[in-house]
Structure 1
């Protein structure tokens, strides 16, 4: 997100336990981009995956990002 980005929405579901000291991989994938009222919005599929490949914490996030300056 960087210093000028902002988390607008976060929705996650804790479906299994990730143990302290265990290995886990966080991931994210852009699923949609759009502009609303001059604000750039990015929707993401996010989650945590355990060593067995099971997604223990699936979710989605909506992030507001500044639009790039046009020259």
Structure 2
């Protein structure tokens, strides 16, 4: 669960920073740094959700890019 929490926060934060960079100054170095970080966090969220005993709805929510990890965490917390 700890891995899922950290990676969900990293996924959402990196997406927010990528979009902020895109809509403001669009520095390519920021994109080249945050893009792989976001992708890796997204894959870790999916893997961690499938390793935790979770309902199928949480696993499907984890597949949503950007906020899927946070939605899956919320579904697991409500369970």
- TM-score w.r.t. the length of structure 2 is 0.25
Pick the structure with greater CA Rg: 1
Structure having the larger proportion of residues in strand:
1
Structure having the larger proportion of residues in helix:
2
